[in-house]
Amino acid sequence: MLDRLKELGREATAALQSAATLMELESVRVKYLGRKSELNQVSRGLKDLESDERRSVGRAVNELKNELGALLEQSKERLESAGEPSAGLDLTLPGRMPWVGGKHPLTRTYERLESIFRGLGFEVALGPDVEDDFHNFDALNIPADHPARDGWDTIYIDDDSLLRTHMSPVQIRVMESRKPPIRIIAPGRVYRNESADASHGSEFYQLEGLYVDRDVRFGELKGVLIRFMRELFGENVTLRFRAGFFPFTEPSTEVDVKCLICQGSGCSVCSGTGWVELLGAGMVDPRVFEAVGYDPGEFSGYAFGLGVDRICMMMTGTDDIRLFLENDLRFLRQI
Amino acid sequence: MVDWGSGSSTVVCGAPNVHAGMTSVLAPPGSVIAGGHRITEQTIRGRRSHGMLVSAQELGLEESSEGIIELDGIEPGGDVRSPLGLDDEIIDLDVQPNRPDCLGVIGVAREVAALTGSELRLPRIDLNEAGRTAADMASVKIEDPHGCPRYIARVISDVTIGPSPAWLATALRSVGSRSINNIVDITNFVMLEFGHPIHAFDYDRLAEHRIVVRRARAGEVMVTLDDVERTLTSEHLLICDGKNPVALAGVMGGADSEVSEATRNILLECAWFDPVVVRRGAWKLGVRTEASQRFEHGVDAHAMEMIAARASSLMAQLAGGKVAPGFVDAGTDGGAAPAITLDVRSVASMLGEDVGRDEIVAALTSFGFGVADGPDGKLTVDVPPHRADVTVEADLIEEVLRSRGYEDVPPEVPFHSIDVPPDAGVGARNRVLDAMVRLGFYEVMTTSFMSESASGRLGGSGVQGEPIVLSNPVNKEMPFMRTAIMPSLLDVVRRNRNVGEKDLRIVELGKVFWKDGDGLRERWALAGALSGLAGRHSWGETPRSIDFFDGKGILWALAEALDIDTPDTACYDGRLLDAGASAGFSVRGEGLGFLGMLSKKALAAWELPDPVFVFEIDLDRLCGFIPTAVEFKELPRYPKARRDVALVIGERSAAGDVLAAVEGLGEPLLVDAQVFDIYVGKQLPPGKKSLGFGLTYMSRERTLTDEEVDEAHSRIVSHLTREFDAALR
Q: Where are the beta strands (DSSP E) in B229-275?
A: 229-231, 237-240, 245-248, 252-253, 266-272
B424 in contact with A, Cβ within 8 Å: yes
- The Cα B357–Cα B345 span in angstroms is 9
Q: Which residue of A has its CA nearest to B406?
A: A241
B439 touches A: beta carbon within 8 Å: yes
> Looking at CA atoms only, how far is residue B440 from chain A in angstroms?
4
Whether B188 has a pLDDT exceeding 70, the answer reads yes
Task: Tell me the average pLDDT across B9-25.
Answer: 85
Assign A47 a pLDDT band (cuts: 50, 70, 90).
Answer: confident
Is residue A274 helix, strand or coil? coil
Selection from B589, B467, B475, B447 nearest residue B516 by Cα: B467
Residue range A305-309: average pLDDT? Answer: 95
Question: How near does any CA of chain A get to the CA of B689, in Å?
Answer: 33
- CB-closest option in A123, A146, A241 to B423: A123
Average pLDDT for residues B371-392, to the nearest whole number? 91
ipTM of the complex: 0.77
b/e per residue A59-81 (b: at least 16 CB within 10 A): ebbeebeeebeebbeebbeebee
Mean pLDDT of B620-637: 90
Contacts of B416 in chain A (CB under 8 A): 121, 181, 183, 213
**Residue B394 and residue A327: Cβ atoms within 8 Å?**
no
Q: Which residues of B touch A151 (CB under 8 A)?
A: 97
Checking if the pLDDT of B462 tops 60, the result is no
**B548 CB contacts (<8 Å, ≥6 apart)?**
B581, B582, B583, B595, B596, B597, B613
Q: How would you classify the pairing of strands A123-124 and A182-191?
A: parallel
Please indicate whether, in this complex, the C-beta atoms of B437 and A215 are within 8 angstroms of each other: no
Model confidence band, residue B422 (pLDDT cutoffs 50, 70, 90): low
CB B696 within 8 Å of CB B678: no
pLDDT in tens, B690-719: 999 999 999 989 999 999 999 999 999 999
pLDDT single digits (tens) B37-56: 888 888 888 888 888 888 88
Q: Which of A126, A220, A285 sits opposite B394 (nearest CB)?
A: A285
Residue A81: pLDDT above 80? no
Going by pLDDT thresholds of 50, 70 and 90, the confidence category of residue B337 is confident
Q: What is the mean pLDDT of residues B13-22?
A: 85
Question: What is chain A's mean pLDDT, rounded?
Answer: 88
Task: Tell me which residue in B349, B445, B481 faces A217 most closely, judged by beta carbons.
Answer: B349
Which own/partner contact pairs does A48-54 have at CB distance under 8 Å and 24+ positions apart? A53/A1
CB contact under 8 A, B349 and A300: yes
For residue B421, the model assigns a pLDDT of 61
B674/B2: higher pLDDT: B674
**Confidence at B375, pLDDT banded by 50, 70, 90:** confident
Flag if B397 and A250 touch (Cβ within 8 Å).
Answer: yes
The nearest alpha carbon in chain B to A128 belongs to B522
Asked whether the predicted pLDDT for residue A45 surpasses 70, the reply is yes
Q: Please, which pLDDT band fits residue A85 given cuts at 50, 70 and 90?
A: low
Q: What confidence tier does A202 reach under pLDDT thresholds 50, 70, 90?
A: very high
- The Cα B436–Cα B561 span in angstroms is 9
Percent of chain A with pLDDT over 70: 98
Task: With CB atoms and an 8 Å threshold, state whether A121 touches B423.
Answer: no
Q: Least CB-CB distance to A101: which of B410, B440, B446?
A: B440
The predicted pLDDT at position B559 comes to 95
Strands (E), A11-62: none
pLDDT of residue A16: 83
Strands B210-215 and B139-142: parallel
Q: Decide: A141 and A134 in contact? Cβ < 8 Å.
A: no
d(CA B154, CA B338): 30
pLDDT at residue A29 in the model:
85
Q: Find, among B524, B531, B496, the residue nearest to B592 by Cα.
A: B524
Q: What is the pLDDT of residues B263-294, one digit of tens each?
A: 999 999 999 999 999 999 998 888 999 999 99
pLDDT of residue B96: 86
**What average pLDDT score do residues A143-150 get?**
80
Collapsing DSSP to helix, strand or coil, B556 comes out as helix
Span A90-117, mean pLDDT? Answer: 92
Strand partners for A246 = A249
Alpha carbon distance A259, A277 (integer Å): 9
Binning pLDDT at 50, 70 and 90, where does residue B413 land?
A: confident
Return the pLDDT at B615.
96
| pLDDT > 60? residue B463 | no
What pLDDT is recorded for position A86?
Answer: 66
Residue B460 has pLDDT above 60, yes or no: no
Band of pLDDT at residue B317, cut at 50, 70 and 90: very high
Q: pTM of the predicted model, to two decimals? A: 0.78
> Buried (b) or exposed (e) across B263-291, using 16+ Cβ within 10 A?
bebbbbbbbbbbbbbbbbbbeebebebeb
Share of chain B above pLDDT 90, in %: 62
C-alpha span between B621 and B591 (Å, rounded): 9
B351, A182: Cβ pair inside 8 Å? no
The number of angstroms, rounded, from the C-alpha of B307 to the middle of its chain's C-alpha atoms is 37
pLDDT surpasses 90 at B543: no
Q: B445 vs A183: CB contact, 8 Å cut-off?
A: no
Q: A with B: how many residue pairs have Cβ under 8 Å apart?
A: 221
B194 touching chain A per CB within 8 A: no
Alpha carbon of B386: minimum distance to chain A alpha carbons (Å): 17
User: Which of A124, A216, A240 has the CB atom closest to B423's CB atom?
Assistant: A124
Give the mean pLDDT of chain B: 90
Its sign, for the CA torsion B675, B679, B683, B686, is positive
Residue B115, chain A, CB below 8 Å: the answer is no
Instruction: Check CB contact under 8 Å for B406 and A243.
Output: yes
Q: What's the gap in Å between the CA of B615 and the closest CA on chain A? A: 17
Query: Does the pLDDT at position A70 exceed 90?
Result: no
Question: Which residue in A48, A70, A55, A62 sits closest to A5, CA to CA?
Answer: A62
DSSP, res B381: E
- pLDDT at residue A48, rounded to an integer: 82
What value does the mean pLDDT take over residues B551-555? 95
CA-based nearest residue to A82, from A21, A157, A16, A125:
A21
What is the DSSP-derived secondary structure letter of residue B257?
Answer: T
Most A CBs within 10 A among B273, B292, B392, B413, hence the mutation to make, goes to: B413
